[in-house]
Amino acid sequence: MSKNKFALFGALLLGAISCAGCSSSSKDKIIIRVLNSADYIYEADEEGVYCEECGEYLSEDKYTSSIDEETGEVTYTCNEHPEAEVYYDCDMMEQFVRYMDDLYKDEGLEFEYVYDTFDTPETCYNEMMTGKSNYDIVNVSDYMIQKMMTNDLLHPLFEKDNEHDADIKQSLRDNLSDYLWGEEESIYNKIYCKKANYKDGEDPYDYDKGVLADYAVPYMWGTVGVMYNPAFKGYQQFTLEELHEKFTSWEALYDSSTKGSFSIKDSVRDVYAVSIIHVYHDEIEALKEKYHVGEIDEDLIGFNREMTVIFNRCDEETLKKISADMNKLKDNAFGFEVDSGKTDMVSGEKIGANLAWSGDATWAIYEAQTENDAEIYFSVPDEGTNIFTDSWAIPKVSKNHQYALDFIDFMCQEDQAIANMDYVGYTTSTSTEGILEYIRDMYDVNESGEDFTAEDYREYDIRYFFEGSIDETPADPEAYCLDDAILQVWTPTTELTYKEEIDGKMTTIPYAVYGRMITAQFPEQSQLHMLCMMDDYGKYNQSVIEMWQQVRTNPLPLWAIIVLAVQVLAVVGFIVYLIIDKKRFNKAKARRVISKQK
């Protein structure tokens, strides 16, 4: 994506840069160690002064700088474009240590960092279980936080009667979405620690250990859905409207009309989410009927609670049903993929659909449009799906609890949240007015400058994410109100699109189109009751792993064997052809040489 214009705290914070070279060796150095998923934090193309108007980093002769004597804030001015936005750009972790140097300068502290990455949450968990890990902050998925809580690997976020912790807690409450964290009905207050051991039929939760919100703060979040490409050669029998309708249901992945046209994640939790809904489809439909006739308390909150119970079944009887269903799904798919699904969708040649994480879909939709002028869509099926989060947490072994909290607070602040979201493609958990402004600039047709009619757009309601952060009727008439989170987005059939110059050419940007990037970044308010968090499997972890290994290693279906055989024969035939053709060419060449000699 394009470099984020809000990025990076630069001119606002990095006055500390001016003092970076004059730090005294007598200062106490504190090293903050962070363990995060790969490619999951802003990394600058290079370190230096960046001009938005020029679209490049400026050499020293192309800008001037000035320092505010009171605040120490550095302001940069581009010589060619004096009115342009100019800021100092560097990696997010470098920004953090400079932020900390400034925050604790009166205490004579100086900060450094160690930043490591892992490939899967299980890798992070295994490292922490060895007891040799010494990280101050880790970032893992919600279910892994729950598992770490069970095994007593995490430090509670906030200590009682601690003024610093109380201030950070309030800052987080101010910055984070109430939908995810902080409020009693937030997602993080509904996920309890699981018992290490429990009997079948027994309540699996250890309520005394608290909830997810006591140990973790959400960083990014998303959903599991389906990416699909209407232009794929295998989908030409469908009209665009028929294809949109088809992928509103998980049934599309089991239907013979899509056989061999889509890939699925080589991830048990993501495939499990599809299968559990497919297996218990009738029970979920009956639950909907109970809701419609008023037999469920607490309206949609009560419905989602009962839906989540179904979604988290993993007893032995359920696993047998899930295994059979997963095999059906696998037999209908092109195959498994670890991280190639999004690039396969961008190329548009191998597959027409992909079981996808919403963040990957955001990236693929943008890349396919800007690179290949191809339109990819993302659907959150009507029957429901998994909503997931990745969270910051403090390991129990950390000796820097206070500074670890500072890091978490820093990452949840507006400028950093926008920079990270723009860089990684997933959706930030921060819900301030600046985030709403960013979302409206990206996705609302009213910000596009295009002329349009009511037939060209539809409403897209994401107020749930900003409730508690944005007032319904703000005192400042210039401020956003909550109803500004009801976006106006293009319908998929409109020909009106936003264009932006990329690499010297005007390119269609798929931001504000229903079913595309906005759908990947934010589910609609009307879908929330069908979104479920998936627990750690608890005592059934080993059974689930064994079931998944069996599914993955089952023989390929006959059609897949035939396709592979044809491909192998084609390659062998092509190689034979090249050998024969080369011999023919060499003989002809020899004849020409002989002819010339004569």
Q: Which long-range CB contacts under 8 A does 15-20 form with residues at least 24 apart?
A: 15/67, 15/68, 15/71, 15/72, 15/73, 15/74, 15/102, 16/72, 16/98, 16/99, 16/101, 16/102, 17/74, 17/88, 17/98, 18/67, 18/72, 18/74, 19/72, 19/101, 19/105, 20/98, 20/101
The whole-number pLDDT of residue 595 equals: 37
Residue 151 or 301, more confident: 151
Q: Rounded to whole angstroms, how far apart are CA atoms 389 and 532?
A: 11
Average of pLDDT values for 196-225?
Answer: 94
Position 490 confidence tier, pLDDT thresholds 50, 70, 90: confident
Q: Which residues of 20-32 are buried (b: 16+ CB within 10 A; e: fewer)?
A: eeeeeeeeeebeb
Q: Rounded to whole angstroms, how far apart are CA atoms 552 and 539?
A: 22
Q: Which residue has the tokens 């991280």?
A: 339
Q: Is the separation of the CB atoms in 169 and 182 below 8 Å? A: no
The whole-number pLDDT of residue 572 equals: 64
φ and ψ at residue 191, rounded to 5 degrees: -105, 110
pLDDT digits (tens, 9 = 90+) for 49-69: 999 999 999 999 999 999 988
Position 199 confidence tier, pLDDT thresholds 50, 70, 90: confident
37-46, 275-284, 344-353, 582-591, range with the lowest pLDDT: 582-591
The whole-number pLDDT of residue 176 equals: 98
CA-based torsion, 295, 297, 301, 307: positive or negative:
negative
What value does the mean pLDDT of the chain take?
87
Q: Rounded to whole angstroms, how far apart are CA atoms 260 and 268?
A: 20
Average of pLDDT values for 299-308?
Answer: 88
Average of pLDDT values for 184-207?
Answer: 91
Q: 12: closest CA among 64, 79, 83, 89?
A: 89
The whole-number pLDDT of residue 579 equals: 54
Residue 10 or 312, more confident: 312
Q: What angle do CA 378, 380, 381 make, to 5 degrees?
A: 120
Position 11 confidence tier, pLDDT thresholds 50, 70, 90: very low
Residues 6+ apart with CB under 8 A from 289: none
Element spanning 49, H or E: strand 48-51
Q: Rounded to whole angstroms, how far apart are CA atoms 296 and 304?
A: 10
Q: Which two tokens stand for residue 582?
A: 């080369």
pLDDT digits (tens, 9 = 90+) for 278-293: 999 999 999 988 888 7
Q: 9: closest CA among 413, 406, 435?
A: 413
Q: Is 389 helix (H, G, I), strand (E, B) or coil?
A: strand
pLDDT digits (tens, 9 = 90+) for 531-574: 999 999 999 999 999 999 999 986 655 555 565 566 567 656 65
Q: Rounded to whole angstroms, how far apart are CA atoms 125 and 129?
A: 6
Q: Rounded to whole angstroms, how far apart are CA atoms 472 and 480?
A: 9
The whole-number pLDDT of residue 302 equals: 86
